[in-house]
Amino acid sequence: MAVVQLDRICKRYGGGGPPAVDDVDVTIGDGEFMVLLGPSGCGKSTTLRMIAGLETISSGTLSIDGRVVNEVPAKDRDIAMVFQSYALYPHMTVAENLSFGLRRRKTPAPEIERRVREVAEILGLAPYLARKPHALSGGQRQRVALGRAMVREPMVFLFDEPLSNLDAALRVNTRNELIKQHRRLGSTMIYVTHDQVEAMTMGTRICVMNGGRVAQVGAPLDVYWNPADTFVARFLGSPPMNLFAATLAEPGRVEAGGLRSRLTRWRPDALAPVVGRDVMVGVRAEDLSLDREAAGPEAGSVAGRVFAVEPLGAETLVSVELERGVECTARLSRGVQARIGEAIELFFPPTATFLFDAATTRAVPASAPLGAVH
């Protein structure tokens, strides 16, 4: 049980380049499942390692339950971590791997035995306690790594992309297992991933990072529907949100290339600061459809030529080239028959429009709730 507070945390490496982690300011509540999400090199793993005590903090304060732990060594922070590579000790059996941390803490032997048994039962590892890691499958190793953290009953759990070495089916299973364990333990968990599906499904909140900075923190769906900038907008969602460069000639509507859209979600005064400026208009792939009626009377539209069709079974991704080489992708129903080279017009409800200031990439705050149609 712990509150982890990052107060203007920075990480600079020698050499004078830009900081790897820049002014990160996040509070992770007690029992929360916080996901640090971002592309590789965005500083999420470094942030996690600073929380763990494996990296020094260049500036800022890190506190756990109000106690500043900047100078507290990793071994004294009462934090457990699950590594991407699992980092199981190859020369120890599963039971020894699980009990390694407890033995250090001078936990009485019967207590160690009890906890190892209990965790092994929960994770289905009981038959493998005498095995060495090399005799386990990938999924079993992953569970040992998780179990090694669980037996310690730490204040905070850290996960550094723990699922990325598993195959797709096992990943889904393990994801659900982790969600279950979080619910059961109620511990504070911080989870690093670049996988948006993991972030959306597991996190109570997600913290999207970009270039060492926090781009946005919020509940997964809130971040999805109210992205703070174009980076977050494109990072969450698959395929990424379509963005169209345009100039906002008049408040209320925008036209650029093959795109036309009404901006009904913004009151004129909200749009006033960007009128006459370059903006980015965003539409998610799943909001595009061939059905003008379904998109409503004030539907926006995108027109162009199909240049790629990807039938995925459950749905079909259709990529369209608008004029001037601008591309966009639509996620259409599986029945759609689209031929490459064919002219196509796609429609979207005006409530599914996003608007960003092109200069700052920040979202233009809307007055109507986002995703109102959904």
Partner 1 sequence: MAAAIARPAPSRSPLPRLFGRGGLALVIGAYTVYTLGPFLWLATMSVRTTGEISADHYAWPRPFHWEQFRVAWVDSDFATYFWNSTIVVVTAVAVVTLVGAAAAHALARYRFAGNRLVYGILFSSIIFPPQITLISLYQILVDYNLYNSLVGLTLVYISLQLPLTVYLLEGFFARIPQDLFDAAKMDGYGDLEIFRRIVLPIGMPAIATTLILNFIQLWNEFLFAVVLITDPEKRTLPIGIRAFMGDHFQDIGMIAAGVMISVVPVILAYAFFSEKLIRGMTAGAVK
Binding characters for partner 1, 140-159, by CB under 8 A (x = yes) = -x------x---x-------
Judged by beta carbon, residue 172 or residue 309, the one nearer partner 1 is 172
CA–CA gap between residue 197 and residue 210 (Å, rounded): 18
Across-strand partners of 261? 254
Q: Is 58 helix (H, G, I), strand (E, B) or coil?
A: coil
CA–CA gap between residue 123 and residue 147 (Å, rounded): 7
What does 1-25 look like in DSSP terms, one character per residue? Answer: ---EEEEEEEE--TTS---SEEEEE
> 282, 243 in Cβ contact below 8 A?
yes
Does the protein bind partner 1 through residue 139 (CB under 8 A)?
no
For residue 238, CA distances in Å to 47, 78, 171, 180, 295 come to 26, 37, 18, 26, 21
From the CB of 21, what's the least distance to partner 1, in Å? 17
Does the protein bind partner 1 through residue 182 (CB under 8 A)?
no
Does the protein bind partner 1 through residue 104 (CB under 8 A)?
yes
Q: Is 98 helix (H, G, I), strand (E, B) or coil?
A: helix
Cα-based torsion angle of the residue sequence 24, 83, 196, 242 in order, rounded to the nearest 10 degrees = 70
From the CB of 190, what's the least distance to partner 1, in Å? 13
Judged by beta carbon, residue 38 or residue 133, the one nearer partner 1 is 133
Judged by beta carbon, residue 192 or residue 317, the one nearer partner 1 is 192
For residue 25, CA distances in Å to 55, 254, 362 come to 17, 36, 19
Does the protein bind partner 1 through residue 112 (CB under 8 A)?
no
Q: Which two tokens stand for residue 271?
A: 């749009």
For residue 171, CA distances in Å to 164, 165, 178, 268, 293 come to 8, 9, 10, 47, 39
Judged by beta carbon, residue 100 or residue 262, the one nearer partner 1 is 100
Does the protein bind partner 1 through residue 134 (CB under 8 A)?
yes
From the CB of 7, what's the least distance to partner 1, in Å? 23
Window 48 to 87, contacts with partner 1 (CB under 8 A): 49, 52-54, 73-76, 79-81, 83-87
Count of residues of this chain found to bind partner 1 when the rule CB under 8 A is applied: 28
From the CB of 356, what's the least distance to partner 1, in Å? 39
Does the protein bind partner 1 through residue 184 (CB under 8 A)?
no
Per CB under 8 A, which region of 31-39, 62-70, 98-106, 207-215 contacts partner 1?
Answer: 98-106
Does the protein bind partner 1 through residue 11 (CB under 8 A)?
no
Cα-based torsion angle of the residue sequence 228, 229, 232, 235 in order, rounded to the nearest 10 degrees = 160
| Site residues, partner 1 (CB under 8 A) | 49, 52-54, 73-76, 79-81, 83-87, 89-91, 100-101, 104-105, 133-134, 141, 148, 152
